[in-house]
């Protein structure tokens, strides 16, 4: 980007010529062995002196930010040795948690010049830099993301989900001839995507309810939050991780309704949206000094106000006289299920940029909690409705 070379090359030392060779990241996932000239005893370590001489000779071939990280890696090892595997992982864009700690504990200041101070960037570079400052609390991660991001693949997950939600809403609006407060239409619940307590055995409804919204006012806020928060998060953390948080929030939302508001249906993508937004806001609060996004206090206040207004609308609608008695209007509890996922699983995902989640003990704790909740909700849906002799509204 700009004057930088193309991001993402994996660099390995060549034993025969004692030089750095640029490789494509897809060429070889298996790291090469340490060369004899730098590791005569084949110990898996390189002396920091030889490592520095290697950087001085060939550092011009690297991204400036990546060279800074390598120098920080050298300075972080007081014992005079660098793990060759850490070096290979860095050059292959595969950083371990121990590598991150080595960098953070190094005795060299990384940022002689912050990424924000760089001049002469084109529009796409400024956009990537903006996303980095919006989502990442550490300068080393922001520079790493700036050098590595290629927009391949693009943030397809959030965009696809949003387009599908809009398409289903428009189709439903045309078929019902109603766009504002669609949920009040007598035929609204007949759609096979809506979660309905009488049809809870149809498992797809626990997920597909996100494609049905109460009205254009409901859809509008969810779409805005998905695009303004979800897309930048997906650009940084990838579709797999952000999709996991989103879907976990959606499923937790419908299951929470089936446990806590047993007679009510569910519509809308608020469970997934609130999971992402809650995770992002919690990450900002937990890394307040490191987050450099502009007007962060004001923007947090605006986000919380918008979320509160949407939640208040959902509560009001739930207790408003129903258009299809005795079935009430859709529940608001899905919002709370999404928030619970966001401040647990979501925060762990956002706090571990490009790190292996399976190495984080907190990740496994929250996964276990989520699994227990899902199993509890499944058994609750199987047995509790009968044991409590609950009178459910008739199927639509």
Beta partners for residue 195, in sequence order: 266
> Do residues 176 and 185 lie in contact, with contact meaning Cβ atoms separated by under 8 Å?
yes
User: Quick one: which of 286, 297, 288, 279 has its CA closest to 339?
Assistant: 279
For tokens 């490789």, name the residue. Answer: 23
**Would you call 175 a catalytic residue per the annotation?**
no
| From 270, 278, 329, 331, active-site residue | 270
Q: CB atoms < 10 A from the CB of 396, how many?
A: 17
Angle, CA of 17, 21 and 25, to the nearest 5°: 150
**310: cis peptide before it, omega within 30°?**
no
For residue 47, give the 3-state DSSP assignment: strand
For residue 132, give the 3-state DSSP assignment: helix
| From 213, 218, 329, 335, active-site residue | 335
Beta strands in the chain (DSSP E): 10-14, 19-23, 45-47, 81-83
> Do residues 69 and 76 lie in contact, with contact meaning Cβ atoms separated by under 8 Å?
no
For tokens 């647990």, name the residue. Answer: 344
Separation of alpha carbons 34 and 32, rounded Å: 7
Q: Is the dihedral of CA 225, 226, 231, 236 positive or negative?
A: positive
According to DSSP, the β-strands at 45-47 and 81-83 are antiparallel
Distance of CA 190 to the CA centre of its chain: 34
**Would you call 218 a catalytic residue per the annotation?**
no
User: Quick one: which of 37, 36, 10, 30 has its CA closest to 21?
Assistant: 10
Q: CB atoms < 10 A from the CB of 289, how many?
A: 6
Q: Is the dihedral of CA 363, 364, 369, 373 positive or negative?
A: positive
In our burial notation (b when 16+ CB lie closer than 10 A, e otherwise), range 351-375 reads bbbebeeeebeebeebbeebeebee
- Residues with a catalytic annotation lie at 270, 335
């Amino acid at each position: 980007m700009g004057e930088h070379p193309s991001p993402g090359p994996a660099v390995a030392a060549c034993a025969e010529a004692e030089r750095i060779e640029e490789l494509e990241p897809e060429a070889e996932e298996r790291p090469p062995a340490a060369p004899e000239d730098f590791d005569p005893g084949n110990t898996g370590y390189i002396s920091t002196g030889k490592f520095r001489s290697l950087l001085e000779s060939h550092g011009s071939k690297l991204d400036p930010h990546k060279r800074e990280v390598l120098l920080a890696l050298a300075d972080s090892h007081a014992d005079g040795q660098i793990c060759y595997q850490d070096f290979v992982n860095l050059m292959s864009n595969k950083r371990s948690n121990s590598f991150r700690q080595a960098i953070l504990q190094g005795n060299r200041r990384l940022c002689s010049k912050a990424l924000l101070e760089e001049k002469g960037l084109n529009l796409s570079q400024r956009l990537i830099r903006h996303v980095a400052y919006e989502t990442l609390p550490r300068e080393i991660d922001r520079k790493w993301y700036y050098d590595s991001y290629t927009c391949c693949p693009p943030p397809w997950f959030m965009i696809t989900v949003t387009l599908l939600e809009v398409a289903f809403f428009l189709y439903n609006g045309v078929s019902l001839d109603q766009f504002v407060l669609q949920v009040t239409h007598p035929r609204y619940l007949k759609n096979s995507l809506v979660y309905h307590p009488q049809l809870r055995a149809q498992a797809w409804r626990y997920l597909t309810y996100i494609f049905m919204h109460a009205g254009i006012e409901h859809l509008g806020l969810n779409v805005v939050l998905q695009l303004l928060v979800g897309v930048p998060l997906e650009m940084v953390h990838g579709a797999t991780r952000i999709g996991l948080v989103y879907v976990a929030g959606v499923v937790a939302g419908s299951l929470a309704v089936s446990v806590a508001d047993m007679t009510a249906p569910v519509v809308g993508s608020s469970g997934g949206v609130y999971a992402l937004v809650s995770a992002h806001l919690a990450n900002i609060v937990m890394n307040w000094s490191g987050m450099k996004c502009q007007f962060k206090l004001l923007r947090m206040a605006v986000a919380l106000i918008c979320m509160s207004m949407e939640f208040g609308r959902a509560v009001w609608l739930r207790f408003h006289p129903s258009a299809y008695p005795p079935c009430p209007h859709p529940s608001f509890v899905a919002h709370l299920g999404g928030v619970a996922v966001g401040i647990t699983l979501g925060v762990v995902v956002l706090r571990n940029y490009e790190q292996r989640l399976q190495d984080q003990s907190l990740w496994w704790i929250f996964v276990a909690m989520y699994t227990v909740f899902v199993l509890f909700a499944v058994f609750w849906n199987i047995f509790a409705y009968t044991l409590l002799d609950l009178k459910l509204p008739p199927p639509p």
